[in-house]
Structure 1
């Protein structure tokens, strides 16, 4: 049964702490424990590794500060979809919403769900991806995939019960993983840091070279830029989803102020944690061990150095907590975008309705179904290669929208303005555009399909527009 009249509107029940926990919790998944291996292989030095994370943090915080102005102007559900629609037109907004549904949010939910099951397999071996439950020839379904789906379905159900349930899980799990991460960093420095390892790791300073086995191979010319761009794919993805809080603006108290504050606080906290974690790695592990960690799981190797044999289980439990909280944030916020699109006639009509608990129940279940399909497809890793290119395109467009809105809608109330405007937003646009160009040149196998997913939304947009304008009898 759908909601009654007094249930038609979202409830503003999320405070600044809740919003900040959604920002931080949606950002921290398993990436910080994995992607540093690939970064070291690409850049070959401790200085360059730290530089990549510094660039990532600077770009993330700059974008978050810019989004604060947009959230103050449009403090309603839908976030980035609304910003793009208001800055440009409904087609631009739809292309973001379509990409968001097709790969950005649902692909992230699937990948984080599978990451949860892979680390759960350290504690419960039966959940391993090597444990094939069903083999249909054309499709193999592993215990890890089923575990991921069960996680996604369970969190979706909890979030259909109301925003209070979702926010409680988010706050508890995010606080837990923040405390645990700080603990891991502190114990790493106290129990396992070695001065000789630190000194040896920094012997090449900030030089950028490819680490091929144990050999450093210098890049030539512009290939250095390609290496940096390729390295940023992992770190930027690990720092992404900070904008999820903008999707639930209609449920945040005093959104024109609290969204901007939560964006800054959440991204700043996570940036500090990510930098500290990598500095800890460099104190505990030689560069070669970081680069060649089994399955790129640097966090597991570091935890073993810190806690001995128990380290594997400690980090596995921690990562289960981390990915559980991360997925809850993604699931909670994502459905609000589809609901706003449906209200604009650009998604399935039934999705715009709130259930009796005042949340978009059908939007949550549609998101759940597609994310589960991506879990079963086994293609989530390929999809995630496309994500960061697509995400950067829309971040560039959204921040460009700040400049456009200053000209086209100067009288809109702006209780919060982008810090460092116009210099910082322009720098972000320039830097992100450079990364996109480098990805097109050096990672065209993932960036071009990503662009194709976006463009596929154009005929779908006109399908919905045609249906919206179709005369009724």
Structure 2
């Protein structure tokens, strides 16, 4: 494959359109769709409302992908949202976005995906789920050690080492795992509707759909859905390593998001077809429950093992993508310089990779799965919304970029995305104040870190705005 180098940061452009699209799909499909539908049904109690929620989530994600596609075409560099916000609002806001990505965009989803893998893996092989040791200083639970957590930690460590070893190796592993996962989902959908022992009666109405749609619970459910759809912007983070990024970044975002939206709707329809919603409400392993309902208990362990293997691609994709943001921040001088260095042997941002892994490990040991979902959904909605506001600011300031991809339906598309995320944020604050406080605390700590690391260079000329304006493809 042809390689080219960005003369400033020496990241290698060796990711083509297919691999970039696979990365988007791998980031999106995984923990959320196999775990969150049970929580949504617990909130909504109606199968039609569940499907409507997933449809809205897909439309919102597509609106975001349209907008991020234009930003990726304008600024095809490593860093994603960090770079986009630096161009629209300046270093301080960009740093906070990168800080959010470090904890919420990648470390927390890595922890959640690893915990989901452990849950399905334990179910597949009948491993014990009790007998945990809880460290509780002053009566407050802080750290939990169990077989469940240890398996999750092993997953994080394995993929951290794989992506530390090199981009080419990591990409091959990523593509293989994603191909397996998509094949599994397609076979499950086709086989379930064709040969499964489900019932169309499970789709019958339970509540007034309009009343459910306009309720606070629907907005809260969209928090879970937004987590499941997170990752639609994944290709933008590897802007410095994608071949022909001004064409391939928008294409990868849109193709990947559209494919995942269709898969999510079909998969959730299969869940409803398979099992009465009363048996799914509040459950984490909804995929395994559906498999049992469709094919009997004998298939449950095989399905759980397959889902567990498929979830590894989520961990792999997140471990690969996230460190490029912290690397870009350090390159700009707004984060500790050690995270802006590449490993001379493997040519990867090794320090950033290990930083992310360390935070994910702490989250596995200290947080519950459901709390992580709320924490992730609220904070990512805030960051993505601000990035799209930044696109509108750039458009107002500079106008259209000639000969580059343009957001379809502008300005309605970004306005719809902003309105949807504002809705989610408003109801998150009302209904989940504790998780929101943790999210706001993360932002506050980020502001303090910026004051310590970034303000000294705030007035300097940004080297990325000069050396990288026209990157080499």
Residues 1:61 and 2:56 are matched in the alignment? no
Q: Is the 8 A contact 2:11 2:240 kept in 1?
A: yes
Corresponding residue of 1:347: 335
**TM-score of the two chains, using structure 1 as the length reference:** 0.89
Secondary structure of 2:145's match? strand
Corresponding residue of 2:157: 153
Corresponding residue of 1:315: 303
Q: Select which of 156, 177, 181 maps to 2:181.
A: 177
Q: Deviation of residue 14 (structure 1)?
A: 0.8
Going from structure 1 to structure 2, the CA distance change for 1:58 and 1:467 (only over 3 Å counts) comes to: same
Q: Is the 8 A contact 2:24 2:232 kept in 1?
A: yes
Q: Select which of 168, 181, 184 maps to 1:164.
A: 168
Residues 1:328 and 2:332 are matched in the alignment? no
* CA distance in 2 between partners of 1:342 and 1:232 (Å): 34
Q: Select which of 446, 451, 458 maps to 1:457.
A: 446
Corresponding residue of 2:431: 442
Corresponding residue of 2:271: 281
Q: Is the 8 A contact 2:24 2:234 kept in 1?
A: yes
Corresponding residue of 1:74: 75
* CA distance in 2 between partners of 1:96 and 1:242 (Å): 16
Q: Select which of 362, 369, 384 maps to 1:395.
A: 384
Q: Is the 8 A contact 1:45 1:208 kept in 2?
A: no
Q: Deviation of residue 442 (structure 1)?
A: 2.2
* CA distance in 1 between partners of 2:364 and 2:85 (Å): 29
Corresponding residue of 1:18: 19
Q: Is the 8 A contact 1:46 1:206 kept in 2?
A: no
Q: Is the 8 A contact 2:124 2:301 kept in 1?
A: yes
Going from structure 1 to structure 2, the CA distance change for 1:429 and 1:136 (only over 3 Å counts) comes to: closer
Going from structure 1 to structure 2, the CA distance change for 1:192 and 1:338 (only over 3 Å counts) comes to: same
- Higher mean alpha-carbon deviation, 233-242 vs 61-70, is at 233-242
Q: Is the 8 A contact 1:129 1:145 kept in 2?
A: no
Give CA deviations for 1:156-187 in whole Å, capped at 9, x if unaligned. Answer: 11111110111111111111110110111111
* CA distance in 2 between partners of 1:7 and 1:80 (Å): 19
* CA distance in 2 between partners of 1:61 and 1:170 (Å): 23
* CA distance in 2 between partners of 1:183 and 1:440 (Å): 39
Residues 1:118 and 2:119 are matched in the alignment? yes
Gaps of 5+ in 2: 1-5, 138-142, 461-473
Corresponding residue of 2:419: 430
Going from structure 1 to structure 2, the CA distance change for 1:77 and 1:199 (only over 3 Å counts) comes to: same
Corresponding residue of 1:232: 222
* CA distance in 2 between partners of 1:246 and 1:30 (Å): 21
Stretches of 4+ aligned residues off by more than 4 angstroms = 5-8, 134-138, 411-414, 466-471
Q: Is the 8 A contact 2:110 2:318 kept in 1?
A: yes
Going from structure 1 to structure 2, the CA distance change for 1:413 and 1:374 (only over 3 Å counts) comes to: farther
- Higher mean alpha-carbon deviation, 139-148 vs 153-162, is at 139-148
Q: Is the 8 A contact 1:303 1:314 kept in 2?
A: no
Q: Is the 8 A contact 1:73 1:414 kept in 2?
A: no
Secondary structure of 2:61's match? helix
Corresponding residue of 1:212: none
Going from structure 1 to structure 2, the CA distance change for 1:400 and 1:243 (only over 3 Å counts) comes to: same
Residues 1:187 and 2:191 are matched in the alignment? yes
Secondary structure of 1:12's match? coil
Residues 1:9 and 2:13 are matched in the alignment? no
Residues 1:259 and 2:249 are matched in the alignment? yes
* CA distance in 1 between partners of 2:269 and 2:40 (Å): 14
Q: Deviation of residue 335 (structure 1)?
A: 0.5
* CA distance in 2 between partners of 1:287 and 1:469 (Å): 54
Q: Select which of 326, 329, 334 maps to 1:338.
A: 326
Give CA deviations for 1:363-408 in whole Å, capped at 9, x if unaligned. Answer: 1111111211222223564343222111111111111111110122
* CA distance in 1 between partners of 2:368 and 2:340 (Å): 29
Going from structure 1 to structure 2, the CA distance change for 1:183 and 1:82 (only over 3 Å counts) comes to: same
Going from structure 1 to structure 2, the CA distance change for 1:469 and 1:70 (only over 3 Å counts) comes to: closer
Q: Deviation of residue 148 (structure 1)?
A: 1.3
- Higher mean alpha-carbon deviation, 452-461 vs 73-82, is at 452-461
* CA distance in 2 between partners of 1:296 and 1:161 (Å): 33
Q: Is the 8 A contact 1:66 1:425 kept in 2?
A: yes
